[in-house]
Amino acid sequence: MNLLAIVGSPRKGKATDTLVDKAIEGLKSVHPNCNVKKIHLADQDIQYCKDCLACWKSKTKGPIAKCAIRDDMDQINEEILKTDCLIIGTPIHMAYASALMMTFLERICWTFAKPEKSYVLVKGCPAPRSDKKRKAAIIAVSGMIPPRYKRLCNQATTQIKGVIKDSLNADTVGKLYAGDLWNRGVEHYLDDAFKLGKKLS
């Protein structure tokens, strides 16, 4: 079993990173031999999507269309192709996912999806290029807004869930909103993150 963990915080060793590690620990408590690859987006050279639509236009029958940009997404894509499950962690920035996470999501959007799904009258919506089913867990961390008011602040989880379903064929089996972190501290959410990781098994 292969797990890919993606951390979208610019800060290593802080809340998002810590909770992602705890979720990895949870999964490893059930699958000790699980292969884990963790990627800090902040360490990677990931350029912005240029909207050239090379991936969108691709007629490949494979699981991924080639992106026109050569950067660290090439290696990250190889890890995505291998993985069975994902843990995606992002801090909440202005109610959405961090810019690091958004840049990553834009780059996987059409490389891993083909414009072949229809929703009512809208044709050309994304459908995964691969039949390989994956599972995912999402962690969103916010400084101020407590879980009770997460609807005001947690657009990230809905967005990540949609993109990874449409592009990576990944079903979200669990999510953690770690809110009001500045008051509660990361310790408050460690057990929840551990349990979230176990859910991936």
How far apart, in whole angstroms, are the C-alpha atoms of residue 46 and residue 23? Answer: 25
141 binds ligand FMN (CB under 6 A): yes
Looking up tokens 């959410």 gives 189
Q: Where does 37-180 have alpha helices with state H?
A: 54-57, 73-82, 99-109, 155-168
Number of residues that bind ligand FMN (CB under 6 A): 18
For residues 145 and 196, which CB has a smaller minimum distance to ligand FMN in the complex? 145
When asked if residue 159 is in the footprint of ligand FMN (CB under 6 A), the reply is no
User: What is the separation, in whole angstroms, between the first and last Cα of the chain?
Assistant: 9
Instruction: Give per-residue burial for 95-131: e unless 16+ CB within 10 Å, then b.
Output: ebbbebbbbbbbbbbbbbbbeeeeeeeeeeebebbbe
Among 144, 162, 171, 185, interactor with ligand FMN by CB under 6 A: 144
What pairs with residue 35 in β-bridges? Answer: 2
- Whole-number minimum distance, CB 1 to ligand FMN, in Å? 26
Q: Which of 5, 6, 9, 157 binds ligand FMN (CB under 6 A)?
A: 9
Does 181 help bind ligand FMN (rule: CB under 6 A)?
yes
Q: Per rule CB under 6 A, is residue 147 in the interface with ligand FMN?
A: no
Measured from the CB of residue 143, what is the shortest distance to ligand FMN in angstroms?
3
Query: Based on CB atoms, which residue is closest to ligand FMN, 145 or 168?
Result: 145
Q: Which stretch binds ligand FMN (CB under 6 A): 54-62, 91-99, 112-120, 162-170?
A: 91-99
- Least CB distance to ligand FMN at residue 106 (A): 18
Cβ proximity of 55 and 106 under 8 Å: no
Beta-carbon count within 10 A of 68 CB: 10
Give me the least distance between CB of 146 and ligand FMN, in Å please.
9
For residue 144, what is the DSSP state?
S
> For binding to ligand FMN (CB under 6 A), which residues are involved?
9, 11, 14-17, 91-95, 141-145, 153, 181
